[in-house]
Amino acid sequence: MAGKQGPGRGGLRSAVAAEAASGLADEAPLLVDRAAGVEWYERPGSDVDYAGYMLCRLRRARAGAKGSHLHGDEAVRAALVQADRDALVWFASRAISYMDETGFPEAVERWFADTDER
């Protein structure tokens, strides 16, 4: 049938995704820790950006292996729980900066148009 995967092909892809996710899950907390205190404005592609990139790869790999974005989100949370608290705060500030600078507030402000504050 057109558009269908052959037998076993999906299983192979899931196995590859699961293996990738496992390695990324081990590496991600260390990358977040390494990114603590690293500035991101002066040097694009810094350890902070790399940690975010790898967490996104972890999310995609685990979601692919398990068949749901929810599993990807869970994998990222599990990795972040293992990171140093101060490193996690630093990384979260980078994520908020990125969201702000790429238009997140404007993208969601209509949801909150009828409220001054929550």
Task: Encode pLDDT of 21-51 as tens digits.
Answer: 778 888 888 999 999 998 888 888 999 999 9
Distance set, CA 44 to CA 38, 68, 90, 98 (Å): 11, 31, 16, 12
Q: What is the percent of the chain where pLDDT is above 90?
A: 58
pLDDT band with cut points at 50, 70 and 90 for residue 14: low
Boundaries of every domain in the chain: 11-101
Tokens at 86, concatenated: 């101060």
Output the pTM of the full model: 0.75
Q: Where are the beta strands (DSSP E) in the chain?
A: none
Specify the range with the lowest mean pLDDT, choosing from 7-11, 46-50, 56-60, 68-72: 7-11
HSE-up (13 A, CA, CB side) for residue 76: 19
Smallest CA-to-CA distance from 21 within 87, 68, 52, 66 is with: 66
